[in-house]
Amino acid sequence: MLVKMRAKVSVVSILLLFSVSSLAEEVKVTVQGVTSIAKTDDNFVCATLDWWPVNKCDYNQCPWGKAGLLNLDLNNKILSNAIKAFSSLRIRIGGSLQDQVLYKVGNSVKKCPHFKRQKEGLFGFSKGCLSMDRWDEINNLINKTGALMTFGLNALIGRRKGTTGDTLWEGDWNPQNAHDLMKYTISKGHKIESYELGNELCASGVAAKVSAEQYAKDIVTLKNLVKELYPNSTTRPKVLGPAGFFDQKWFSTFLEKSGPDVVDGLTHHIYNLGPGNDPSLIDKIRDPFILSQVAQTYRDIFVTVNEFGPWSGAWVGEAGGAYNSGGKYVSHTFADGFWYLDQLGMSSTFNHKVFCRQALIGGNYALLNTTTFIPNPDYYGALLWHRLMGKNVLAATHSGSSYLRAYSHCSKEKRGITLLLINMSNSTCFDVSVINDENLYPRQTEEDSESEKWREEYHLTPKCGDIQSDVVLLNGTPLRLTESLDVPSMEPKLVDPSSPITVAPESIVFATLRDFKAPACD
């Protein structure tokens, strides 16, 4: 019996040894440190708060709970600590129901109803109401956490549904209610970083649509309103739109017709993983071929901005991966980082300024658990990105497996560069060496004052190797809130820089190389 068991154990260990050693692959990642290829905003990482009521349900579940803006516990300590940890997190307030929200201020709004289920309403809901008490509470949270707020305005107010029988809405936007809200907001000293007009009304729309020509006219109205109420151009909120799915014709017409210096951020939405109830979501989310397809959209937007609106910047205004509130067993787990961090990397290489994740809280795809507020793995991924990845984006390429994704930015604040390495393979370990491509404009050699002793590495892996876990490990230790409900400190592992960066199967690594000579980062 004993002998038999020993034999079994050694067979297993030989198999293990074999599988580990045979599946390591050496990869050289080349980073061009000479010039940056794109630049993000200082606050590239952004998360959304949405209006969905408790009874927003998809696929026999109602995953929003009390996380919608009108129900959310704004005094929750985890929520404010989680936002504060970014100093500053960009927060975009908006979503499907935003074009049905009335602001209870001024004289133009007589009735201010609660959202109710309504068959004939857009998205199955009636109009809803934002009271100024609630608005103050939301702004107080933004103020005390040092966040930056993008507020999405109702863009259907004043229009009527067209007579053609489709979803086209016609007529001018009526800015009165927005005007009254802004006046109130200013009188209270609340700071709004940007105003966005409408949600998913562009191109073919979702529940309703507006033509590009009409929308251009309306966003000029919004710009003039903002200019009038915020005369100081240094502190004036930006104007963003159209907050919907990209369509080349619609977006270029919108930029052309609205004209120079109107649209500060061209916002578009990304849901490239399909419906939240797709059973193959867990495979799609780590399939490099599927994930790469959206690069064409990022590139098309990049080209459209350059060609038709160089005064504007491209923003991902909302992206949740899988639509209809995300995937129940996927979107809040470690596996979502394969999609999310890859999207941050990809969109920034195409000169996107901001990436707003749907959602900070609510649905299955939130950074914070909808009921417990406990940070999900992507929360920590977002925070690491925000702390480590600077504004200047560098080209990073390799000729190894497509299951290894590599991105590089100048480091934030400190010297050198930071790499984001994502291993989507469940079997191959990548040993990455980083090559500096300075062949084209080699810099003058200079003396190293302080040569790098260590490389700083942050390895993210799922608990128990289960990529569908809600718990992520940093360098082998689970990330959990402290006893005071604060976000834990996230310290790097210090590694001998002469060794390659080991990227384990199904893991995500940030690595900071302080001595990497990158003139683009000076």
Ligand X SMILES: *[C@@H]1O[C@H](CO)[C@@H](O)[C@H](O)[C@H]1NC(C)=O
Q: Which residues bind ligand X (CB under 6 A)?
A: 63, 143, 146, 189, 191, 232, 234-235, 283, 286, 332, 364, 369-372, 401, 403, 425-428
Q: How far is the CB of 509 from ligand X (least distance, A)?
A: 16
Structure tokens at 92: 């975009």
Residue 86 contacts residue 386 (beta carbons within 8 Å): yes
CA distance 152 to 194: 9
Q: Please identify, using beta-carbon distances, which residue of 211 and 331 lies nearer to ligand X.
A: 331
- The 3-state DSSP class for residue 187 equals helix
Q: Please identify, using beta-carbon distances, which residue of 211 and 376 lies nearer to ligand X.
A: 376
Q: Please identify, using beta-carbon distances, which residue of 186 and 494 lies nearer to ligand X.
A: 186
The residues, ordered by sequence, that sit 6+ positions from 330 with a Cβ below 8 Å of its Cβ are: 281, 282, 285, 322, 336, 364, 468
- Phi, psi torsion values for 79, nearest 5 degrees: -60, -50
Q: Please identify, using beta-carbon distances, which residue of 87 and 477 lies nearer to ligand X.
A: 87
CA distance 245 to 6: 60
CA distance 217 to 221: 7
Residue 460 contacts residue 473 (beta carbons within 8 Å): yes
- The 3-state DSSP class for residue 441 equals coil
Measured in whole angstroms, how far is the alpha carbon of residue 419 from the centre of its chain?
18
CA distance 96 to 111: 21
Q: How far is the CB of 137 from ligand X (least distance, A)?
A: 14
Q: How far is the CB of 306 from ligand X (least distance, A)?
A: 30
Q: Please identify, using beta-carbon distances, which residue of 11 and 20 lies nearer to ligand X.
A: 20
Q: How far is the CB of 311 from ligand X (least distance, A)?
A: 21
Q: Please identify, using beta-carbon distances, which residue of 63 and 242 lies nearer to ligand X.
A: 63
Strands 128-131 and 101-104: parallel
Q: Please identify, using beta-carbon distances, which residue of 63 and 128 lies nearer to ligand X.
A: 63
CA distance 300 to 134: 39
Q: How far is the CB of 11 from ligand X (least distance, A)?
A: 18
Structure tokens at 135: 């608005």
Q: What single-letter DSSP state applies at residue 209?
A: B
- Catalytic annotation, residues: 200, 318
Q: How far is the CB of 116 from ligand X (least distance, A)?
A: 25
Q: Please identify, using beta-carbon distances, which residue of 377 and 492 lies nearer to ligand X.
A: 377
The CA distances from residue 213 to 172, 414, 500, in Å, are 11, 45, 54
* 3-class secondary structure per residue, 28-51: EEEEECCCCCEECCCCCEEEEECC
Q: How far is the CB of 360 from ligand X (least distance, A)?
A: 13
CA distance 430 to 503: 5
How far is the first Cα of the chain from the last one, in angstroms, to the nearest whole number? Answer: 67
The CA distances from residue 263 to 173, 219, 233, 269, in Å, are 16, 8, 15, 16
Please state, as a whole number, how many other Cβ atoms lie within 10 Å of the Cβ of residue 203.
21
Q: How far is the CB of 25 from ligand X (least distance, A)?
A: 7
Q: How far is the CB of 273 from ligand X (least distance, A)?
A: 16
Residue 223 contacts residue 241 (beta carbons within 8 Å): no
Q: Please identify, using beta-carbon distances, which residue of 151 and 516 lies nearer to ligand X.
A: 151
- The 3-state DSSP class for residue 161 equals strand
Nearest of 145, 173, 375 to residue 258 by alpha carbon: 173
- The 3-state DSSP class for residue 427 equals coil
